[in-house]
Homo-oligomer: A and B are copies of this chain.
Amino acid sequence: MNTEGLLAQRMIRLKSSAIRELLKHSKMENVISLAGGIPSDALFDFEGLSQATQLAITEQPKNAFQYGLTEGSHALREQITALCAERGVMTRPEDIVVTAGSQQALDLVMRALVNPGDIFVVESPTYLAALQTLELAEAQLLTVRSDRDGMIVDDLAELLKTQTIKGVYLVPTFGNPSGVSLSRARREQLVTLAAEHRFLIIEDDPYGELRFTDERNPTLFELAAALNGHTDNVIYTSTFSKILAPGLRLGWVIMPAWLLHKVASIKQAADLHASSLSQVVAEYYLGLGRLPAQIETIRAAYKRKCEVLASLLEQELGEHVTFEMPKGGMFLWARFRQPRNTAEWLQETLKQGVVFVPGEYFFAAEPDHSTFRLSFATATEEQMQEAVARLKRAL
C-alpha cells in the first residue's frame, strides 16, 4: 500500500471514531438527532413481528435454536428469491448467502475479493461503513464524483483508460449520504463498462424499496442480465434492516458461484451462520404476507417526513443552504451556498442541542466541507421543527 493509501485509511478510521462519538452525543438528553441512519421504530410492525416470533418458537423451535446452514436456511433463501424477483432481480436460492445485515455482506465480499492494493472505485461521497470494509481488506480507493444523477460514469470511463480496477462499489438507488439515484442511462453505461473492462460491480441496495414516487429504476443486476446476458460481474446485496427490523441483523448477498464458495467459507470461520432465531422469525414474517403493506407504510411515512424536513429547511435556512429533493431513502444531503466547514459548525449546533453528520466523513478523498447529511427517518415532525429552529439559531 502506498503512502497516500495509508493516509486515506487513517482518515477513514478517524472519521469512523468521530461518527461513533457523534452518535454518543445524539443519545444525550435534549439533543435532537438528525445524524443516525436508524429506521423509526414507531413504524415497526410489532404486531406482525410478534406473530412471526410466536410461530417461530411454537412451529419450528428446533430450527430456531439449533445450528443451521452457513448459507442460511433454505426456506428463507426461497422467500428472498421471491422478494428479489419482485425487484427484477431474478436469482435462485443457491446463489444467495444470508448475512448479518448487508454490512456483513460487504465485509465478507471484500475479504473474499480484495487482495491488498487492489483498486476499488467508490462514489464521492459514499457510504462510510463500506469504506471501512474496503480499508480492512486493504483495497486501494479511487473516487468518482456524483451529481444529481448519481455517479458520473463518464468520469469512470475516463479513469478506466489508465487504470485496471477490481471493482466499483455503489449505492445506486437513494444513495447514502447523497440521497440521489443513478440515472437509467448511466446504469446501462456502467454495466456495459463492467463487462467490457471485466470489473465487478457491488450493488448495495438497502433503500431501493423506500421510493416516494412511481419512478422505478431497474437494478444494475437486472440490467446486466438484460444487456450482458449474464450477471457474472454483479454482486447484489440488500437487507431486512430498513424494511422490517434492523435488530434481526439479517441481510443477503447474491453472487456468482466462484465467489459464493469463498464467501461461505469465510462466513463459516467468521460466525458459522446468521442467528437461526432471526431467520425463522423472518421466514414466518414473510409467510404472513405483511411485508408489502409494511413497506407502503414506511414509504408514506418517510415521504411525509422528508417533505416536512425539506420545507422547513427551505423556509428557515433556504438563503444559506441548498439541497436536492430526495425521491426515496432516508437521507437529505445539503450544502451551504457559501463555504462553511460543517464539522466546525457541528460544535455550534451541539450547543443548541441538534446533531447531524458533517459531509466530509463520507468522502474517501477531497472532502466538500460545506456539505452535511440529515436523516429524516428517526425524528418526529415536531422534533424536526425544533431541530431546524436550532440549526438556524446556530448560524
Contacts and interface: CB of A to CB of B under 8 A. Distances in A.
A74 interface: no
Contacts of A44: 61-62, 65-66
Interface string A51-75: 0011001100111111110000000
Interface stretch (A96-104, A223-231, A367-375): A96-104
A13 interface: yes
Given A38-B66, A278-B275, A13 B265 contact: yes
Q: How many copies does the complex hold?
A: 2
Nearest to A106: B269
- Chain A residues touching B, majority SS: helix
Interface string A1-24: 000000000000100110010000
A248 to B, nearest CB: 6
Contacts of A133: 269
Given A50-B57, A61-B46, A136 B266 contact: yes
B49 A245 contact: no
A270 interface: yes
Contacts of A277: 53, 247-248, 275, 277-278, 281
Contacts of A50: 57-58, 61
Among A44, A58, A274, A278, find the residue whose CB has the most chain B CB atoms closer than 10 A: A278
Given A275-B249, A276-B248, A277-B278, A269 B136 contact: yes
Q: Which 8 A-B pairs have the closest CB atoms?
A: A247-B276, A65-B245, A100-B271, A275-B275, A132-B269, A104-B271, A65-B247, A249-B275
